[in-house]
Chain A
Amino acid sequence: MDINNTKMLQPLLGSVNCERVLLFLLARKEGYPREIAGFYQTALDPVNKQLKKLEAGGVLYSRAVGRTRLFAFNPRYPFLPELKRLLAKALAFYPREVQEALTMVRKRPRRAGKPL
């Protein structure tokens, strides 16, 4: 699986990191910069830059959770339903492994200190 070789919307969005950030948030609902950069095995700075740009444009919002800043889609963004539909369609064109990697994430709690 090559997560980094998939870019369906880059010609439209103008940036592979923008596509990565949006697809990650579509699949996971929310995320923090280091988590997104780690998922794509890419540098933190460009991911951070995209998140801030999208937040300034009203597409995303962020909230502080402890010392972490969590980002998610801004429910008040006027083009949100249309954007999500486009992203969902783009995600459907991704290889199945990428789709699963994006959507399959442990949601249930893990007790602190529990051995893996």
Chain B
Amino acid sequence: MKPLRDMSVGELAAFISNHLRRRGIEVVLTGGSCVTIYSHNAYVSADLDFIDNSFTRRKKLKEAMAEIGFVEERRYFRHPEVELLVEFPAGPLSVGREPVKEIVVLEYDTGNLAIISPTDCVKDRLAAYYHWGDRQSLKQAVLVMKCKEVDLGEIARWSRSEGKIRDFRKIERLLLSPPP
């Protein structure tokens, strides 16, 4: 197996997921690192955000992460060979105020990675844009739109249910802009 420092974001996330799964901990990758994976590194996230669908006790999670060399530092886990920080934000797995319904499994040499779908990834980024006004998140949503097939109708429906349909209409053209 490759050393951790040589793994891509996807390989590393799959390696961690695989290890946790063997310990009975089911996690799903969410957040900015999904943009990294779907945009083929056009955006580079600084951390891996896993939602723990098993609602594991922190002590067990800490022990499982320690087995692969990750040490807890405040809310994060850090590995001496890896720049990326690993975090387990509080669940449940959601995009805005809705539960995530579809989970994609990506296969890597290091294991299988459960990850939110490209459509949910765009929603996740747009939630940050809608609620915080974060334009970097909007840019990330556009990146995923350009690299992956995304259900724009579903994003419009979700934006409406978040009370953000007017914001969606304003950025719709940007989301639909053709790949360079």
Contact = CB atoms under 8 A, between A and B. Distances in A.
Interface string A68-80: 0000000111111
A80 B99 CA distance: 13
22 contacts: A56-B75, A56-B90, A57-B90, A58-B89, A58-B90, A75-B131, A75-B132, A76-B96, A76-B97, A76-B127, A76-B128, A76-B131, A77-B97, A78-B92, A78-B94, A78-B96, A78-B97, A78-B98, A78-B99, A79-B97, A80-B97, A81-B97
Contacts of B89: 58
A56 B88 CA distance: 10
Interface in B78-112: 89-90, 92, 94, 96-99
Contacts of B94: 78
Interface of B: 75, 89-90, 92, 94, 96-99, 127-128, 131-132
Contacts of B99: 78
Contacts of A80: 97
Nearest to B89: A58
Contacts of A76: 96-97, 127-128, 131
A-B interface, 9 closest residue pairs, ranked by CB to CB distance from nearest = A75-B131, A78-B94, A58-B90, A57-B90, A78-B97, A76-B127, A76-B131, A76-B96, A56-B90
Nearest to B131: A75
Contacts of A75: 131-132
A79 B92 CA distance: 10
Contacts of A79: 97
A72 to B, nearest CB: 11
A77 B94 CA distance: 9
